[in-house]
Amino acid sequence: MSEDARLAGEGGVGSRVTIAISAIVLVLVCLFPFAWMALSSIKKLPELFTVPPHWLPNEPTLGNYWTVLFNSNIPRYFLNSCIISGGATLVALVLAVFASYGFARFNFRGKAWLQTFVLVGQLLPTAAIIVPLFITLRWLHLINTYWGLILIYTIITLPLSVWMLTSYFRGIPYELEEAATIDGASRLGILFRITLPLAMPGVVAVVVYSFVTCWNEFVFALVFAQDQSVKTLPIGLAEFSTEFNTDWGGVMAASMVMTVPVALLFLVFQRLFVGGLTAGATKG
Amino acid sequence: MNRSSTGLMFILPAIAVLLMLIAYPIVYTVYLSLIDAHGALTGKNYANVLKPYVTRQAFGNLLYYVGGSIVFQVLFGTLAAILLNQKFWGRSAVRSITLIPWVVPGIVAATTWAWMFHTEFGIINYMLTGAHIIPGPVGWLTNKDTVMPVLIAINVWKLFPFVAIMVLAGLQAIPADLYEAAKVDGANFWEEVWYITLPLVRPVLVAVTLLLLIWGLNAITLIYAITQGGPANLSLITPIQIYQLAFTSFQFNEAAALSVLFFIVAAIVVAVYVKVIPSNTAVAR
């Protein structure tokens, strides 16, 4: 990136110090809450309620994690979150692959209108449709089931997935598909044997985006999962703070358990994910 | 060739799901808002929802929350993007770290910040009193003057990284020779920012601002998990009011009426977004 070299390369000592200080401040602001969360999660209760607070624990303990793992519903909620987020990601991905391929490779009447409809689906406020969704799901007997939340989460992630994948498919040269058509491959054969393998980075971006979105979702889970058998981690965390009369050590340990998987997933696939998102957003 | 019908076949399943779970509920909400508990047509739900002061208060709080958040999200996000576009040691690590607040679950951000803002045992009161910035501990989340600014600050922390990556992508698309030309003309760093960078990332900024506005109208998690709208409705916002009407008071029809009104406001914003964005995309890329 030549423009970066231009910006900083000729800068004097002053500008380099400014950059260094700003970068340090930025990192501190972003990471401080997590550092405090991690430190609080290994403190014993009396030490959490000390005035003034200690920066580092005098007697580090794993007791809070023990409570979270063996004396709470968090492991069950962790499993529920995995099933629901994984299921919704899979359903949204399958629907999005077909829809994006249709949008990217075919022309038909009403295409622009349908694309706008998908985009609008991403933008409408959840609060405005939560009441009828509740009534619909209750009528379908899907409240407090995995399938209920999987369906609901599909509509949250589907629009942006379609958006990201469409722009990815468009970037793949059509000539490759034409060659296969001449060789007699069917439309579906082309999609699965040629286009999709080439679009793997886009698919990974969509999977990470969908999974993290579902993993983090709070409001729909609050309404549609009221039974312990289907409650997800965000609900468990909110519950944890009242259930134990706010055992802050336990809350912080549960927060760690919930944050580490998404943070790792995201950091590993970061480049793909950010590329897919910014391309979708700036290209439209 | 029957290209058009094949294309539709590919799209149909996704559209069917979206119609069933987005379009149908919207229509059904309008219907619910117009009937009473016995199914008879009535306009009472709207009157009942619009009359109490709390509805206006919640909407005012929502505008304050969203407006206040956006100003600082865009400001800090843009500054962070300009910084992350410089060349310095460890830049890619700093870029990754910057994204973390945005990626973590909202509920985790909410509980962690609530703990840090704790009146007696919170680290923030400790640091601020230690540095003599405030004379004694402040009840940040229970004081009527501080609760909204604190919630806005937490929301800014959560979402400025999103602005930063989007603006950074815009910055990287600016051709380097523009800056070289400016250098030749003797422009300094801030002049370059003002005359080249900002005009060229303006389309990205417009898109991001509208997205933040739409998401902001939709945001429940942070406020619900930290204050549940309290103290005394001071941080109550319309989406939480809808949720409480429906699932705490079980007034489904009134909740539907409020949803319709809220929906109209959100739809106007979305319409502006859809109208503005395509015309900008050519410039953004």
What total of structural domains would you count in chain A? 2
Residue type, B173: A
Give per-residue pLDDT as tens, B108-153: 999 999 999 988 888 999 989 888 888 888 899 988 899 999 999 9
Q: State how far the Cα of A75 lies from the Cα of A65, in Å rounded to an integer.
A: 11
Per-residue pLDDT for B278 more than 80? no
Give per-residue pLDDT as tens, B197-241: 888 888 888 888 988 988 888 888 999 989 888 788 999 999 999
Q: State how far the Cα of B21 lies from the Cα of B24, in Å rounded to an integer.
A: 6
Pairwise CB contact (< 8 Å): B97 & A131:
no
Helices (H), chain A: 2-9, 13-41, 45-48, 63-70, 74-105, 111-123, 126-139, 146-170, 174-182, 187-190, 196-198, 200-216, 219-224, 233-243, 248-283
User: Which chain A residues are Cβ-neighbours of B105 within 8 angstroms?
Assistant: 215-216, 218, 233-234, 237, 258-259, 262
State how far residue A128 is from chain B, nearest Cα, in angstroms.
4
Rounded to 5 degrees, what angle do the CA atoms B11, B16, B17 make? 110
- Cα dist from B151 to B52, B156, B209, B221, whole Å: 25, 9, 19, 11
Same domain, A125 and A256: yes
Which domain covers residue A52, as residue numbers? 2-61
Which band of pLDDT confidence, cut at 50, 70 and 90, is reported for residue B7?
Answer: confident
Same domain, A255 and A149: yes
Same domain, A150 and A218: yes
Per-residue pLDDT for A196 more than 50? yes
Same domain, A124 and A230: yes
For an interface test with B, give the residue of A3, A98, A252 to mutate (most B CBs within 10 A): A3
**Percentage of chain B exceeding pLDDT 90:** 45
User: Which chain A residues are Cβ-neighbours of B238 within 8 angstroms?
Assistant: 127
State how far residue B242 is from chain A, nearest Cα, in angstroms.
7
Looking at CATH, the fold of the domain delimited by B52-284 is given as MetI-like fold (1.10.3720)
* The pLDDT of residue A151: 92
State how far residue B7 is from chain A, nearest Cα, in angstroms.
5
Q: Which of A61, A84, A111 finishes a domain?
A: A61
- Cα dist from B252 to A48, A57, A131, B13, whole Å: 42, 49, 7, 31
Model pTM above 0.95: no
Which band of pLDDT confidence, cut at 50, 70 and 90, is reported for residue A2?
Answer: very low
Q: Which residue has the tokens 């994984």?
A: A86
As a whole number, the mean pLDDT across chain B is: 88
Give per-residue pLDDT as tens, B27-72: 999 999 999 888 888 888 999 999 999 999 999 999 999 999 999 9
Give per-residue pLDDT as tens, A131-152: 888 988 888 899 999 999 999 9
* The pLDDT of residue B136: 84
Same domain, A159 and A223: yes
Q: Minimal CA–CA distance to B97: which of A181, A228, A35?
A: A35
What CATH number has the domain bearing residue A203?
1.10.3720.10
